[in-house]
Homo-oligomer: A and B are copies of this chain.
Amino acid sequence: MNVLSDRLVNLFGALAVGITDRIKKAAFDPTIPGGGETTAAIVVIGHATGLSIDELGRVLGLSHAGTVRLVDRLVAAGFAVRSKALRDRRAVALMLTEAGETRLSAILQRRNETLSEILSHVSNADRLVLERIAETILAQMSDDAVSALTICRLCDERRCYNCPMDAFGMLESSTHRVDP
């Protein structure tokens, strides 16, 4: 067993909590109805376009009913649509509207700005180590596409070249994103 200092454990935990607070605060959009994970829902739908309500609920850790209401709010606000799934006529294929895509871009931009500002105080050499550490830990924190998407539910995955979470595959119902 390695020597693992209590101090590192605490600093690392505090860092995660503090950074997450900042991310959520930055990503929060008051024009999107509903608090909690509603903002994350837009990111997830944008990334895994065509996913079902059931899958979205598992990614966000919500009950089925809660997810239906969340989607109701998103649809009512004009940010997402329920379209017909290709394979399964029971299922719904969720996708963003133009307005939803606009919100998504704004969310991701604010998130990226916040994180960039924070990371700007870390030296170039340390950034390389940090990237390796993050990659190592992330790779062992997920089992499947759902848990990977849960962790990445506020990520700008289009700008995550060689994302380690791609190894966990995609959701059943989501269509492949076509790169612009």
Contact = CB atoms under 8 A, between A and B. Distances in A.
Contacts of A115: 9, 12-13
Assembly of this chain: how many copies?
2
Contact of A118 (B5, B127, B131, B137): B137
Nearest to A24: B17
Contacts of A2: 120, 124
Interface residues of A, number: 61
A26 B165 CA distance: 23
Interface stretch (A62-70, A76-84, A155-163, A170-178): A155-163
Contacts of A127: 4-5, 8
Interface of A: 2-23, 111-112, 115-116, 118-122, 124, 126-127, 129-138, 140-141, 150-157, 159-165
Given A10-B155, A15-B134, 4 more contacts: A2-B124, A3-B124, A10-B163, A130-B130
